[in-house]
Amino acid sequence: MTWIIMLSVIIGTLTGYLFFPSHWYDFTGLVIDIGLCLLLLFVGMDIGKQKNTLLEIKKIGLGILAVPLMIGLGSIFGALVFGHFVGLNYNESGAIGAGFGWYTLSAIMLVDYSSEISALAFLTNVIREVMAILMLPLIAKYIGHYEAVAPCGATAMDTTLPIIARYTTPKVAIVGFVSGVVLSSLVPLLVPIIINL
Amino acid sequence: MIFRLLLYIGVLGIGMLIGIYNMAHPKLDQALGKLQILTLIGLLFVMGIRLGADKMVVSSLSTIGFQAFMLAFGSIAFSVLFVFLGRQILKLDRRGRAK
């Protein structure tokens, strides 16, 4: 299954690069929206069938916020450390890390600061999403289920949620969704704050 | 952003209600796993197409690709590590259940 995921992304990327007519680009956005809604519906049905899940989530309560908190801190800290090695200022690498995988928004918010940093934020967060998709099954298997949510960051509420649901339990999928929502709402707050430090 | 969030929560919620009250056709229920995989493959393929067709991504890969890869890797590695440490503190097992 991990191979199928990798191949889908790789073959898709090659198709897009080599053959895809550029005027179809906008159309792919619509296809993704529809596909995503379908998948979320299926994931919801799966979660709903496991009646204990919702009770378990209730039991966790506000502790559920510990997951996005650790993911957020880790993302920013990791970007600071690795950004230092590739010669970036702390405010720049921190702000890019605070994009949490949401490439469009983090790039847009950094355009005024510098177009180079904006492009870097875009590419970093694109790579983060692709790496998350590829690494998630392995992390879920060998490290842990909550850890598998970590690479996804903000995307855990949409694009990577189906993969979380596939490789972990319905409970972790809900925690992942909540974590994605929390991190997504933090992106527009944290990126401008950190870049101005 | 708000619209999208509401849409996702809405669709997920509708799915959960269908699941909770067993409103889906049994055949659909059985095929749920396969349908998820097929939709997922299609979605990832189209996402790949968007990346490959995006001139900004492709042209910036050669110049800032290494920096971007390092930042993405750093964010992922430390977020996994922090969640791992949090899980140890809260004494949860690999699947997130109390030990």
Question: How confident is the prediction for chain A on average, in pLDDT?
Answer: 89
Number of domains in chain B: 1
d(CA B85, CA B99): 15
Question: Please, which pLDDT band fits residue A2 given cuts at 50, 70 and 90?
Answer: low
Range of the domain at B99: 62-99
User: If pLDDT is split at 50, 70 and 90, which confidence band does A65 have?
Assistant: very high
Asked if B80 contacts A150 with a C-beta cutoff of 8 angstroms, the reply is: yes
pLDDT band at residue B63, thresholds of 50, 70 and 90?
confident
Does pLDDT of A91 surpass 90? yes
- Using CA coordinates, name the residue in chain B closest to A129: B72
Q: Tell me the percentage of chain A whose pLDDT exceeds 70.
A: 99
Flag whether pLDDT at A84 surpasses 90. yes
- The answer as to whether B10 is a domain residue is no
Note the pLDDT of residue A194.
95
DSSP state of B91: T
Tell me if B99 is assigned to some domain. Answer: yes
Question: Does residue B9 fall inside a structural domain?
Answer: no
Among A107-111, A138-142, A146-150, the least confident range: A107-111
What residues of A are in contact with residue B72 (Cβ under 8 Å)?
A: 124-125, 127-128, 131
And the tokens for B15? Answer: 């799915």
pLDDT at residue A99, as a whole number: 95
Q: Which helix (H) or strand (E) holds A196?
A: none
Per-residue pLDDT at A26: 82
For the segment B10-38, the average pLDDT, to the nearest whole number, is 88
**Residue-wise over A47-83: b if at least 16 C-beta within 10 A, else e?**
bbbbeebbebbeebeeeeebbbbbbbebbbbbbbbbb
- In this prediction, residue B1 has a pLDDT band, given cuts at 50, 70 and 90, of low
Nearest to A179 by CA among A58, A71, A68, A48: A68
Mean pLDDT of B71-99: 91
User: Which chain A residues are closer than 8 Å to B52 by Cβ?
Assistant: 12-18, 20
B46 residue type, one letter: V
Residue B87 falls inside a structural domain: yes
- The fraction of chain B above a pLDDT of 70, given in percent, is 99
Mutate to test the interface with A, among B29, B39, B46, B71 (most CBs of A within 10 A): B71
pLDDT of residue B44: 83
What average pLDDT is seen over chain B? 87
Q: How many CB atoms lie within 10 A of CB B87?
A: 22
Mean pLDDT over residues A15-20, rounded? 87
pLDDT score of A78 more than 80: yes
B91 domain-assigned: yes
Q: Which of residues 27-86 of B touch A (CB under 8 A)?
A: 29, 32, 35-37, 39-54, 56-58, 60-61, 64-86
Residue A72 is predicted with a pLDDT of: 98
More confident residue, A13 or A89: A89
Residues on chain A touching B54 (C-beta within 8 angstroms): 16, 25
Q: Which pLDDT band, with edges at 50, 70 and 90, does A120 fall under?
A: very high
In a domain, B19, yes or no: no
The half-sphere exposure of A111 on its side-chain side, counting CA atoms within 13 A, is 6
Q: What 3-state DSSP class applies to A9? A: helix
pLDDT > 90? residue A76: yes
